[in-house]
Amino acid sequence: MKTEEFKRLEELLIQVGLRIAKRGEGALFVVGDVNYKPLVDQNVPPFKVLDNPKLLESLALMDGAVVIDSEGVMKAYGVMIKSKKTFKNFGTRHSAALTASKGDNLVVIVSEEDKKIRILKQGKMVMQIDALQRDVEKTVPHAVDFLESVGAGTIGAIGTGLLVPALGITFLPGIVIFGSAYYLVKIISKKFNHEF
């Protein structure tokens, strides 16, 4: 998938996640290759999610995860991702998200409890978006630009912590970036200096 198309996919997943979170429901999107077990019959054939966001949103509301391949095609929905760990104070969806975020996968998790969207890459949370923040939808394109600027080396260098808000910094209303402030400020100032 081309970079521009992948950015559109990331933005779509966040926007769909915001709508789901505002209704107080949860979801889990996995972009990439992951082992899963279907919980429901797979009656909906694969489709390009950028072409049908409403169907994607409907499928995301089922129990389980929605798996999207690296070309942006929905491969499975209502699936269980076997987690290797559980996390105190977080449910099975977060455990599955952490397991699914290994390698090059992108994971977008929508929490029904706190109405936040968390984005994980390489087994680490890199961003959290508060669906209740006023006008947060307007900041999503900037957040996606940031996600694109955070490469594999940066995530490793940052050494982000999982689900530990104390380690994050806010650079846009309703959006928290996790990791070392030094690296993040350096990236942000380069990428977004003209927008502040």
What pLDDT, on a 0 to 100 scale, did the predictor assign at position 183? 44
Mean pLDDT of 81-96: 72
pLDDT at 53 over 90: yes
Q: Are 74 and 56 within 8 A, CB to CB?
A: yes
What pLDDT, on a 0 to 100 scale, did the predictor assign at position 182? 36
pLDDT for 137-166, tens place per residue?
887 777 777 666 654 344 443 333 333 344
What pLDDT, on a 0 to 100 scale, did the predictor assign at position 108? 94
The region of weakest confidence among 27-36, 38-47, 80-89, 129-138 is 80-89
For the chain, count helices (H), then strands (E). 6, 10
Inter-CA distances, 155 with 13, 55, 74, 120, 188, Å: 21, 32, 26, 10, 14
Q: What is the mean pLDDT of the chain?
A: 78
The confidence band for 132, taking pLDDT boundaries of 50, 70 and 90, is confident
Q: Which residues contact 194 (CB under 8 A, 6 or more apart)?
A: none
Ranked by mean pLDDT, the top range of 11-20, 114-123, 168-177, 184-193 is: 11-20
CATH number of 3-195: 3.40.1700.10
Domain ranges (residues) in the chain: 3-195
| pTM as predicted | 0.78
pLDDT at 103 over 50: yes
Ranked by mean pLDDT, the top range of 30-39, 88-97, 144-153 is: 30-39
